[in-house]
Amino acid sequence: MRIVLPFVYWRVPVILLRGPARASGRDVVLLSAGSPSAFIIGRFFAQEPTVVRRTRVPVWRLQRLLNEWRAAADLVDIEIDRVSARLFLDTTYLALPRWITSWMKVPEDLREFGRTHRNAQTDLRRIRVKNFECHLSREAKDFDLFCEKFHRPHTTARHGDMTMVSPRWMLRYVFRQGMIQWVSRKGEKLAGGILTIKGKVLTKRVNGVLDGRADLLKEGVLSALYVHAMQEAKQLGCTELNMGGSMPSLHDGVFRYKSKWSSGLHSHDGFISANCVTLLGWNRLAGPVADFLGQTSLIHHDEDGYSALWVFPHDEPLTAETLQQHYDKLDTAGLRRFDILLPGDAPVGFVCSTHVRLIPLMAVGEGGPERLKLCELAAPGLINEPILPVVNSTRQSHAPSS
């Protein structure tokens, strides 16, 4: 399929979008090629942007058109298959996975796990208080109930305009390989999820809450799904729990929730995730792009793993206390590196792990992602030296083949 995709989608739509920035309210412009990313558009703009210009070009002429149009754009977003990215685009972009998967080792003792993971301890306590029960089902009638009353309304309520409900035939195919996990109380089903098992890995595919009810979310029914999945995984002899995909951002709510349990990150095994890549580019990081990255940290491909990029918000005081609060909230297990761009000198007293690099925004603000790539030559820690311009390197893959 990777070989076929460039021929199927050989004419690439390109649009120039304008609208108010979500971060600042000022007018910003996004150059989008391929299938527009609802995630990037939703985080970059405060409201539905207007189309300034639109065209379609053969994929082998895409880079030339992007070079012609990108001077008018603050941010460039390319959604394209991996083969075309490797063959026809240069290497100056930041490559993001379409989705990122969190995983965890199945704990031997949940109570002990809670004592060593403070954020998870609250969920474990709440689940015991609420008296949630769990059981598994492979009955066909339960699949229809789950799709109509649980999965669709929950997904629609949670993601709004960004909702992408999986086709029923696809969910049925997954269900036939696995089972539905129900969370109930006093006999009433409140939440459910489809699970599959392969080898020693139990995978959570999709979740659902009865009628998408917000009150049940507040009570912790989704937490109950995750906790009981750990228990089921242990009983079924699994050693690893794949918690499913989320947006590639440390600020994404779903990702943040999973990070309290996770042991690391995996590539997502969905068709789009496996065969497509998101490429971001910019001419100048300081300004609208920095504002965007201050609210939407990005998880990106980095050799055979994943790293993260975040800009400290310019409208907050750069003190050891505020930086520490943000860092403690955002840092997650499984990152190869965490780059934090600072508007000034690093505050005295800030404590972080060795995989964190503090980079002055002024050192990389005038230029694209290639200036960040030069930082890879530096050792982890505080990078103070200005980054010099770099000539584009030869073409190579933007992302690992896995």
Asked if residue 258 is part of any domain, the answer here is no
- Per-residue pLDDT tens over the stretch 2-14: 566 666 567 899 9
Both tokens of residue 353? 């792990």
Do residues 28 and 60 both lie within one domain? Answer: yes
Do residues 110 and 232 both lie within one domain? Answer: yes
Query: Residue 388 above 50 pLDDT?
Result: no
Do residues 276 and 194 both lie within one domain? Answer: no
Do residues 132 and 87 both lie within one domain? Answer: no
Do residues 131 and 74 both lie within one domain? Answer: no
Asked if residue 257 is part of any domain, the answer here is no
The pLDDT value given to residue 21: 96
Do residues 113 and 237 both lie within one domain? Answer: yes
Query: Residue 101 above 50 pLDDT?
Result: yes
> Mean per-residue pLDDT for 263-289?
83
Query: Residue 293 above 60 pLDDT?
Result: yes
Q: Which residues pair with 208 in a beta bridge?
A: 192
Q: Model-level pTM? A: 0.84
The pLDDT value given to residue 373: 75
- Confidence category of residue 290, pLDDT binned at 50, 70, 90: very high
The pLDDT value given to residue 159: 60
Q: What is the 3-state secondary structure (H, E, C) of the chain?
A: CCCCHHHHCCEEEEEEEEEEECCCCCEEEEEEEECCCHHHHHHHECCCCEEEEEEEEEHHHHHHHHHHHHHHCCEEEEEEEHHHHHHHCCCCCEEECCCEEEEEECCCCHHHHHHHCHHHHHHHHHHHHHCCEEEEECCHHHHHHHHHHHHHHHHHHHHHHHCCCCCHHHHHHHHHHEEEEEEEECCEEEEEEEEEEECCEEEEEEEEEHHHCHHHHHHCHHHHHHHHHHHHHHHCCCCEEEEEEECCCCCCHHHHHHHCCCCEEEECCCHHHHHEEEEEECCCCCCHHHHHHHHCCEEEEECCEEEEEEECCCCCCCCHHHHHHHHHHHCCCCCCEEEEEECCCCCCCCCCCCCEEEEEHHHHCCCCHHHHHHHHHCCCEECCCCCCCCCCCCCCCCCCCC
Query: Domain with 200 in it: what CATH number?
Result: 3.40.630.30
Query: Residue 283 above 90 pLDDT?
Result: yes
- Confidence category of residue 374, pLDDT binned at 50, 70, 90: confident
User: Taking Cα atoms as reference points, which of 140, 236, 150 lies closest to residue 196?
Assistant: 236
Asked if residue 310 is part of any domain, the answer here is yes
Burial class (CB in 10 A: 0-12, 13-18, 19+), 174: middle
Mean pLDDT, rounded, of the chain: 85
The pLDDT value given to residue 237: 92
Do residues 174 and 200 both lie within one domain? Answer: yes
- Per-residue pLDDT tens over the stretch 49-80: 999 999 999 999 999 999 999 999 999 999 98
Quote the domain boundaries for residue 355: 5-99+272-382
Percentage of the chain modeled with pLDDT above 90: 55
- Confidence category of residue 350, pLDDT binned at 50, 70, 90: very high
> Mean per-residue pLDDT for 329-352?
92
Do residues 242 and 108 both lie within one domain? Answer: yes
The pLDDT value given to residue 238: 94
Do residues 231 and 311 both lie within one domain? Answer: no
Query: Residue 110 above 70 pLDDT?
Result: yes
Domain boundary, last residue among 247, 280, 313: 247
Asked if residue 107 is part of any domain, the answer here is yes
User: Taking Cα atoms as reference points, which of 401, 129, 101, 128 lies closest to residue 269?
Assistant: 101
Do residues 242 and 104 both lie within one domain? Answer: yes
Number of domains in the chain: 2
Query: Residue 291 above 70 pLDDT?
Result: yes
Asked if residue 396 is part of any domain, the answer here is no
Do residues 319 and 360 both lie within one domain? Answer: yes
The pLDDT value given to residue 365: 83
For the ranges 38-42, 61-65, 98-102, 228-232, the one whose mean pLDDT is highest: 61-65
The pLDDT value given to residue 390: 34
Percentage of the chain modeled with pLDDT above 70: 87
Do residues 362 and 277 both lie within one domain? Answer: yes
The pLDDT value given to residue 386: 40
- Per-residue pLDDT tens over the stretch 120-160: 777 777 787 788 999 999 999 999 999 999 999 988 877 65
The pLDDT value given to residue 271: 54
The pLDDT value given to residue 402: 32
Residue position matching structure tokens 């004419």: 11
Asked if residue 262 is part of any domain, the answer here is no
Pairing type for strands 381-382 and 356-360 reads parallel
The pLDDT value given to residue 379: 44
Asked if residue 355 is part of any domain, the answer here is yes
Asked if residue 252 is part of any domain, the answer here is no
- Per-residue pLDDT tens over the stretch 163-187: 566 788 889 999 999 999 999 999 9
Tell how far CA 110 is from the center of its chain: 27
